[in-house]
Amino acid sequence: MNKRALNKLISLFSLVCVLLISAPEKAGAVPGFKRQTGQDCTACHTIFPELTPFGRAFKLTGYVINKTGKSYPSFPPISAMAQFSYSRTDASLPQGSIQDTWSTHSLHSENDVLGSPQQLSLFYAGQVYGKVGAFIQGTYANDTNNIFMDAVDIRYANNTTLWDKDLIFGVTLNNNPTIEDVWNSSPAFSFPYASSNIAPTPAAATLIDNSLAAQVGGIGLYAHWNNMFYTAVSVYRTANNGITSFFGANNTINTIVDGAMPYWRAAFNYQYDVHSFTIGTYGLSGNVFAGPFNNMPTDHFTDVAIDGQYQYIQDRHTASLQATWIHEDQDRSGSFSLGNASNQSDSLKTLRITGNYYYRTELGTPGGSVGFFSTSGDSDSLLYSPNPVSGSSTGSPDSNGVILQLDYLAPWQYAYTKVSLQYYIYNKFNGSTTDYDGSGRNASDNNTLYLLVWLAF
Amino acid sequence: MKEMLVSALVLLCVATDFGGLKYTLSADIEKGKALYQERCMICHGPNGDGKGQGAIALNPKPANYTQKKFWEDPNIEKTIAETIMKGKGQMRASPDLTPEDIQALISYMTQTFKPN
């Protein structure tokens, strides 16, 4: 390691130490929520950002549960978050892949990358007035080196009784299908909650699997009856222009939805004492322009998914299991007419299963997760063409592997800081195990070791 | 003479020990009230009936302190203290509370919610 790199490492370490020491006492996952409710962060999160039943109630009731009982927060619910990371891929990336900036430092040639920070976020998270609340996240990310609108979920919620059972109902304005959901098996808040942003990622992903995050804006209605049956419907339009442009502010909108795109969600939930179990379905259907301009022909996507979650939350032991399966039908007639797809229709299937366990002690909460992921689908030699690192030599979108992660959460009495050590292991990447890109790169070359320090204020 | 002595004794008690005791109890109740509002009210409700804002998605529902049945257990104060310290079901533990804090909470709950 050269002297310059060592100085950078020492500077990063010092910065992390200063932040750890200065982290406010009893900060929380989104500390504005904690200050508003007076509750320990573990009331809403098993280990952030996974939600407990109380956390789900807090979100469903519009982020307005308030220990003062007033119609407005005692002070503006502003919070902040910082993520510092180290990433190492098993084989270095090609020359020129990583640009050194003030927040991105490559310690060795195109590898051993420090994100210092990887991400900084500012939140308005909590009650706005009365029954209106919001979770709005603005973010600086080191890979894009700019500030942009990250997550938006603005809600009005109310409750009544229907057939003598509680009914929560509400309206949400948000910028990502499934961000309105309260279970961690649907994509917006699913494992892994953070990962390296310099490591190569598979070429194929379904539209509902976060491909529309901050690319759209929409309005939805939801209802949760008897703490058992949940249903939601929303409609989205592009955040590229018009009244929804706020939802994608300063983002590059490269997935442009044509017209309205409906989204649905239905789930059955049963919670008793320390156990909670959920099974559900979600999906969307709509047109997306087959290129970066809205005068191009369109492709049509229909995503149908099923998911489930089990949680066991005891005072010391917390275990949970999440799974989802997504099937996407793609009518690629737009891309086909432009010569960007070799098939008129394609399909993709994604499966994810994650198991988590944590043990809460006075000295903090250690634990970890094991996740399996798989995306497979029809081969399409134009959609998935050979290209160094990001391409496919076979035209196949198939990727699968395992994520191993160890976490440590500092005692909440001192600071809410999460340290994670993650290892991404690819068995198959863009269709192959060896020479997947046609340039000699193997799937295992993209295996990534990732160390993350996640601070909340 | 006897009446004067009794009156003097009562005055003395009010002005010293008994007054202090009353002050201490009052301070405990206030402390317990503040702790209840900070930590418990969201689920157990401002009236102690288990109908707080957060109770809507919990099963079983939070305890209802206004029911006679809740207070029938002769060891109820010990049970409450253990529940606060160790947690129960979806209720998180509060290991940071001191025994004095917990006693203040129980005093407030008893005085405010326990039916006659």
pLDDT digits (tens, 9 = 90+) for A151-191: 999 999 999 999 999 999 999 999 999 999 999 999 999 99
- What 3 state SS string does chain A have? CCHHHHHHHHHHHHHHHHHHHHCCCCCCCCHHHHHHHCCCHHHCECCCCCECHHHHHHHHCCCCCCCCCCCCCCCCCEEEEEEEEEEEECCCCCCCCCCCECCEEEEECCEEEEEEEEEEEEEEEEEEECCEEEEEEEEEECCCCEEEEEEEEEEEEEEEEECCEEEEEEEEEECCCCCCCCCCCCHHHCCCCCCCCCCCCCCCCCHHHHHCCCCEEEEEEEEEECCCEEEEEEEEEECCCHHHHHHHCCCCCCCCEECCEEEEEEEEEEEECCEEEEEEEEEEEEEEECCCCCCCCEEEEEEEEEEEEEEEECCCEEEEEEEEEEEEEEECHHHHHHCCCCCCEEEEEEEEEEEEEEECECCEEEEEEEEEEEEEECCCCCCCCCCCCCCCCCCCCCEEEEEEEEEEECCCCCCCEEEEEEEEEEEEECCECCCCCCCCCCHHHHCEEEEEEEEEC
With H, G, I as helix, E, B as strand and everything else as coil, classify residue B48: coil
- Judged by a CB distance cut-off of 8 A, whether residue B85 touches chain A is no
- pLDDT of A457 reads 84
pLDDT above 90 coverage of chain A, percent: 78
The set of residues, in sequence order, having a beta carbon less than 8 Å from that of A225 and lying 6+ positions away, is: A162, A165, A166, A167, A168
Q: Is the pLDDT of residue A292 over 50?
A: yes
- pLDDT of A164 reads 92
Q: Is the pLDDT of residue A204 over 80?
A: yes
- Judged by a CB distance cut-off of 8 A, whether residue A44 touches chain B is no
CA B4 to chain centroid: 39
* Cβ neighbours of A66 in B, within 8 Å: 53
In whole angstroms, how large is the CA radius of gyration of chain B?
18
* Cβ neighbours of A67 in B, within 8 Å: 37-38, 41-42
* Cβ neighbours of A38 in B, within 8 Å: 37-39, 42
- pLDDT of A415 reads 67
**A40/B92 touch (CB, cutoff 8 Å), yes or no:** yes
Q: Is the pLDDT of residue A428 over 50?
A: yes
The set of residues, in sequence order, having a beta carbon less than 8 Å from that of A24 and lying 6+ positions away, is: A31, A415, A457
Q: Using pLDDT thresholds of 50, 70 and 90, give the confidence band for residue A282.
A: very high
Could you give the CA distance from residue B66 to residue A448 in angstroms, rounded to a whole number?
56
Query: Taking a contact as any Cβ pair under 8 Å apart, which residues of chain A between 105 and 164 contact chain B?
Result: 159
- pLDDT of B32 reads 92
Rounded to a whole number of angstroms, the distance from the CA of A163 to the nearest CA of chain B is 15
The set of residues, in sequence order, having a beta carbon less than 8 Å from that of A143 and lying 6+ positions away, is: A104, A118, A197, A198
Query: Taking a contact as any Cβ pair under 8 Å apart, which residues of chain B between 48 and 67 contact chain A?
Result: 53-54, 56-60
pLDDT above 90 coverage of chain B, percent: 41
Where b means 16+ CB within 10 Å and e means fewer, A266-293 reads ebebebeebebebbbebbbbbbbbbbee
Q: Are A178 and A83 in contact (CB under 8 A)?
A: no
Could you give the CA distance from residue A121 to residue A149 in angstroms, rounded to a whole number?
10
Rounded to an integer, the average pLDDT of A70-92 is: 91
- Judged by a CB distance cut-off of 8 A, whether residue A56 touches chain B is yes
| Preferred mutation among A39, A46, A165, A412 to probe B, highest tally of B CBs within 10 A | A39
* Cβ neighbours of A42 in B, within 8 Å: 92
Higher pLDDT residue, A19 or A437?
Answer: A437
**B54/A58 touch (CB, cutoff 8 Å), yes or no:** yes
Could you give the CA distance from residue A182 to residue A307 in angstroms, rounded to a whole number?
12
- Judged by a CB distance cut-off of 8 A, whether residue A212 touches chain B is no
Compute, in degrees rounded to 10, the torsion defined by CA atoms A142, A145, A148, A153: -10
Q: Using pLDDT thresholds of 50, 70 and 90, give the confidence band for residue B21.
A: very low
Give the nearest partner residue to A67 out of B38, B58, B93, using CB atoms.
B38
**Tokens, residue A422:** 């993650």
The set of residues, in sequence order, having a beta carbon less than 8 Å from that of B10 and lying 6+ positions away, is: none
Could you give the CA distance from residue B109 to residue B112 in angstroms, rounded to a whole number?
5
**A38/B39 touch (CB, cutoff 8 Å), yes or no:** yes
* Cβ neighbours of B43 in A, within 8 Å: 54
**Tokens, residue A206:** 């379904």
DSSP B62-80: PP-TTSHHHH-STTHHHHH
- Greatest CA span in chain B, whole angstroms? 67
Q: Is the pLDDT of residue A3 over 60?
A: no
Written as one letter, the residue type at B27 is: A
Which residue is associated with the tokens 């009731």?
A61
CB pairs A-B closer than 8 Å: 69
Q: Using pLDDT thresholds of 50, 70 and 90, give the confidence band for residue B113.
A: very high
Tell me whether residue B16 is exposed, middle or buried, using C-beta atoms within 10 angstroms of its C-beta: 0 to 12, 13 to 18, 19 or more: exposed
pLDDT above 70 coverage of chain A, percent: 93
Rounded to a whole number of angstroms, the distance from the CA of A312 to the nearest CA of chain B is 10
Rounded to an integer, the average pLDDT of B39-46 is: 90
The pLDDT mean for chain A works out to 91
In whole angstroms, how large is the CA radius of gyration of chain A?
22
With H, G, I as helix, E, B as strand and everything else as coil, classify residue B91: strand
Q: Are A323 and A356 in contact (CB under 8 A)?
A: no
Q: Is the pLDDT of residue B10 over 70?
A: no
Higher pLDDT residue, A51 or A31?
Answer: A51
Higher pLDDT residue, A414 or A325?
Answer: A325
β-partners of residue A172 are: A155, A220
- pLDDT of B23 reads 46
**Shortest CA distance to A382 belongs to which of A370, A403, A367, A396?**
A396
Q: Is A430 left (phi over 0), alpha (psi -120 to 50) or beta?
A: left
Compute, in degrees rounded to 10, the torsion defined by CA atoms A251, A252, A255, A258: 80
Q: Using pLDDT thresholds of 50, 70 and 90, give the confidence band for residue B2.
A: low
Give the nearest partner residue to A272 out of B38, B59, B88, using CB atoms.
B59
Could you give the CA distance from residue B57 to residue A278 in angstroms, rounded to a whole number?
13
Q: Is the pLDDT of residue A345 over 60?
A: yes
**Shortest CA distance to A257 belongs to which of A308, A215, A318?**
A215
- pLDDT of B28 reads 83
* Cβ neighbours of B59 in A, within 8 Å: 227, 271-273
* Structure letter (DSSP) for residue B88: B
Q: Is the pLDDT of residue A286 over 50?
A: yes
The set of residues, in sequence order, having a beta carbon less than 8 Å from that of A218 and lying 6+ positions away, is: A173, A174, A175, A177, A234, A235, A236, A237, A244, A247, A261, A263
Q: What is the pLDDT of residues A205-253, one digit of tens each?
A: 999 999 999 999 999 999 999 999 999 999 999 999 999 999 999 999 9
Q: Is A438 left (phi over 0), alpha (psi -120 to 50) or beta?
A: left
**Tokens, residue A314:** 């005891």
* Cβ neighbours of B41 in A, within 8 Å: 67, 69
**B42/A39 touch (CB, cutoff 8 Å), yes or no:** yes
Give the nearest partner residue to B54 out of A40, A57, A69, using CB atoms.
A57
- Judged by a CB distance cut-off of 8 A, whether residue A362 touches chain B is yes
**B92/A166 touch (CB, cutoff 8 Å), yes or no:** no
Strands (E), chain B: none
